[in-house]
Amino acid sequence: MSPMPLLAFLSSAGLSPRRRGMTLLEITVAVTVIAVMIAVVVPNFGPARLKGQLRTSARNLAAMIRYARGEAIYGRHLVKLRMDVRNGAYRFDRMTDGKPASEREPDAIEPVEMIRRLHEKVYFDRVVLYEGADKVRNDIVVLEFTPRGTCTPATIVLTDAKGKKMTIDVFGITGAVEVYAGEPPE
């Protein structure tokens, strides 16, 4: 087939052999379809992100508890983890001579306390200490870790803005930490 009949066929079908650009109407329709798809999909990411923040907060707190226990054992110090229940923060203190790092000489070559916060939409629902009721003052709850690897047994429940909960159990004799979704079984 020669090129001339092909050009004649294309022009009779209303098609130009040259490539056409998109019209303003086609661009408007494409943008509208994309906008509708985004409007449907994006709101569904909110709850998933909130659930991720709750899970991340629980895992970060559990990691800090494990770290505190490891520091107590390997550093042969008393270590305290202070949880500010009202403000959603927690702090690691390595105790030396009965004092946290912030109260010792500034020249000491030791790490200062590590202060962490829960995500902004996650907060402490409740913290239950199974021994050491004297370790709770003004919404500050203290878990103590000894060089032998024992710690204050506790159950910590975190909740998010939607009411979802995650629980962290800390076992006193072994120092083991368990994290799971929901509230602790009765």
Contact 170, 151 (CB under 8 A): yes
* Single-letter amino acid, residue 75: G
CATH homologous superfamily of 46-181: minor pseudopilin epsh domain (3.55.40.10)
**pLDDT band per the 50, 70, 90 thresholds, residue 109:** very low
Cα–Cα distance, 35 to 31 (Å, whole number): 6
Give the domain ranges of the chain: 46-181
Cα–Cα distance, 92 to 67 (Å, whole number): 9
- Is the predicted pLDDT of residue 117 greater than 70, yes or no? yes
Q: Can you give the pLDDT at residue 185?
A: 80
* Beta-carbon-side half-sphere exposure of residue 177 (alpha carbons within 13 Å): 22
Q: Can you give the pLDDT at residue 58?
A: 92
Per-residue 3-state assignment (H helix, E strand, C coil) for 125-153: EEEEECCCHHHEECCEEEEEECCCCCECC
- Is the predicted pLDDT of residue 5 greater than 90, yes or no? no
Helices of type H across the chain = 3-12, 24-41, 45-75
